[in-house]
Amino acid sequence: MKKHLVVVGSINMDLVVRTPRMPLPGETLLGSDFHTIPGGKGANQTVAVARQGAAVKMIGCVGNDDFGQAQWRCLNAEGIDLSLLQVDAQQATGIAVIMIDQNGQNSIIVSPGANSAVSVAQINAAKETIAQAAMLICQLEVPIESVIQAIELAHHCQTPTLLNPAPASRELPPALFEKVTYLILNETEAEILTGESVSDVMSAKTAAMRLRDAGAQTVILTLGAHGAVVAYDGELYHEPALSVKAVDTTAAGDTFVGCFAAAISEGLAVPDAVRLATHASAISVTKLGAQPSIPTRQEVEQFIAQRRD
């Protein structure tokens, strides 16, 4: 029986600062509340899976530095299998500089560092692990050729695949989408991949169907405060968002991905997994930081119960 999930992805240390608003070109603003917080889309999604109670292994790379050692300790403390994680002595651990405005919206600059060392050879060495996995999860903060190889291997081994194409890239070969079981992306990423504007639920439905037509079996297009559009198995519907006070939207999408993947691996149907992931991501935006904001399954279930009352 396939029990574990595998994440191929980035590991960054997030350098987070609050700002009253995003600065204009050439402008200097006084920020506040600087924090150093574990992050990276791959690591965030791995933590999200683990906190939902699922077994998960991560394929990635950190530098031989303080940030790398800190990330290793944090991921290990979550019960994540790090046997496929590598240390690159030549490059620093990846970092992300994150500015958060007074409305909780963020702007992010990523310096990949050791994430760029995640190689095709490292993926190939994990072939058996991928073959035995309940699902493979990928994003695009590691080299595209490594992501493509991981998805190719998973498809060949009939392992379900989840692709979160962030940051979005037009370099993805069209044939890759035919090997993606679950495609989860936001409106900006959908615009880049389809070439069409996504500004509301209707345009999101159009974009989701285009991506379905491109080959992805299930497309989930997240729209922040406007919820998500889901296209799967001949159905197309809108899942409303939950009304919460946003503090920081960092890792909301990663929380959604990890929670959805864990729920699917448990046997939940797509609509139920989407609903669970929507509640999890709603919780995440009420807290500061990437991994510190990701809820456990118990928190999600309590949140759902409270909203029923």
Task: Render 88-151 in DSSP notation, one character per residue.
Answer: ESSSPPEEEEEEE-TTS-EEEEEE-GGGGG--HHHHHHTHHHHHT-SEEEE-SSS-HHHHHHHH
Residues comprising the binding site? 12-14, 40-44, 141, 186, 222-227, 248, 250, 253-254, 284, 287, 289, 293
Residues comprising the binding site for substrate? 12-14, 40-44, 141, 254
Report in angstroms the alpha-carbon separations of 151 from 7, 123, 128, 224, 285. 11, 10, 13, 27, 30
Neighbours of 70 (CB within 10 A): 15
What are the chain's domains? 41-67+79-90+116-308 (3.40.1190.20)
Q: Which residues are catalytic?
A: 254
Per cent of the chain over pLDDT 70 is 99
Confidence grade of residue 178 (pLDDT, cut at 50, 70, 90): very high
Task: For residue 190, give the nearest of 216, 225, 151, 161 by alpha carbon.
Answer: 216
Task: For residue 134, give the nearest of 254, 41, 267, 253 by alpha carbon.
Answer: 267
Strand 228-232, strand 235-239: pairing: antiparallel
Residues comprising the binding site for ATP? 186, 222-227, 253-254
**pLDDT, tens digit, for every residue of 203-255?**
999 999 999 999 999 999 999 889 999 999 989 999 999 989 888 887 899 99
pTM over 0.75: yes
**pLDDT, tens digit, for every residue of 51-99?**
999 999 999 999 999 999 999 999 999 999 999 999 999 999 999 898 9
Say whether pLDDT at 1 is over 50: no
Residues comprising the binding site for K(+)? 248, 250, 284, 287, 289, 293
**pLDDT, tens digit, for every residue of 260-282?**
999 999 999 999 999 999 999 99
Please give the pLDDT value at position 225: 87
Residues whose CB is less than 8 angstroms from the CB of residue 309 and which lie 6 or more positions away in sequence, other chains included: none
Neighbours of 249 (CB within 10 A): 18
